[in-house]
Structure 1
Amino acid sequence: MRIMAFDYGTKRIGIAVTDPMQIIATGLDTVHPLKIIDYLKKYVLTNPVERFIVGEPKQMNNMPSQSAIHVKGFVNLLKKTFPDIPVQMLDERFTSKMASATIAQSGMNRKARQNKELVDTISAVILLQNWMEYK
């Protein structure tokens, strides 16, 4: 079964997923928040998911950031829609900066580096890799 991670944003959600053996984290997609549940319902029909990992937005002082309320609503929606799939929160501080740095180091052109969807997807991959190392 796969593990799926989300970098939640009010405009788009970056999604990453492991392979079935849970060895490699790969960027999957970026989806608008209003379409995420339909997307996930279709995905889990053909790809069993063992766990959802959701980035927990925190400030430097460890307090929840302004977007935490939106993430909490997303987590509640996941739990309600997929009650058999556990949801785990993981600190997401610096994932966007790390994603931007990764893109810059990859040699992509400037237009690709400014693609916010790519940043969100790579942020989800970093979050998932962090969880895999943590576990």
Structure 2
Amino acid sequence: MGRVLAIDFGTKRTGIAVTDELQIIASGLTTVNTKELVQFLKNYINKETVELFLVGEPKQMDNTASESEVHITKFLSKLEKEIPEIPIKRVDERFTSKMAFQTMIDSGLKKKQRKNKALIDEISATLILQSYLYSKK
């Protein structure tokens, strides 16, 4: 079994989370400069077996696509061309940033640490991945 890698795409930074090989535990991996994202993913899959890319799908409250979907669609086209052997699945990511921020508060991070947007992106990717794992059960 390979890992599932979740991507919380952003125009500047992208949060990444990954499962263990048995796809039981979701863990934050890192935050990557979005311009370097495809190369990072190529390097990662050369070291680890990844069976699925999970990409957050931001939606408005009325279920329409958010403004950032335009950027995500371009990224997905590039990802499919560069790494065609790994399938891509989309997952609703509404509220993950708010939930990530609340997680930081609940875990006792100080105000200065909670301003770390890279950490919020990584936690958001982890929440996307965790919701996917729950939905599989």
Per the shorter chain, which TM-score range? over 0.9
CA distance in structure 2 between the partners assigned to 1:114 and 1:76 by the alignment = 32
User: Per-residue displacement from partner, 1:6-65 (whole Å, max 9, x unpaired)?
Assistant: 000001000000011111000001011110111111110110100000000100000001
- Does residue 75 in structure 1 map to residue 76 in structure 2? yes
Equivalents in 1 of 2:28, 2:103: separation in Å?
13
Distance in 2 separating the partners of 1:90 and 1:73: 17
- Indicate the residue corresponding to 1:94 in structure 2: 95
Asked if residue 109 in structure 1 is aligned to residue 107 in structure 2, the reply is: no
Stretches of 4+ moved more than 3 A in 1? none
Describe how 1:1-135 pairs up with structure 2 within 5 A: 1-135=2-136
The alignment partner of 1:83 has SS state of coil
Separation in structure 2 between the aligned mates of residue 83 and residue 106 of structure 1, nearest angstrom: 38
- RMSD, aligned CA: 0.6
Give the Cα separation in 2 of the matches to 1:25 and 1:96. Answer: 17
Gaps of 5+ in 2: none
- Which residue identity does 2:104 align to in structure 1? I
Q: Distance in 2 between matches of 1:121 and 1:91?
A: 16
Unaligned runs of 5+ in 1: none
Identity of aligned residues (%): 50
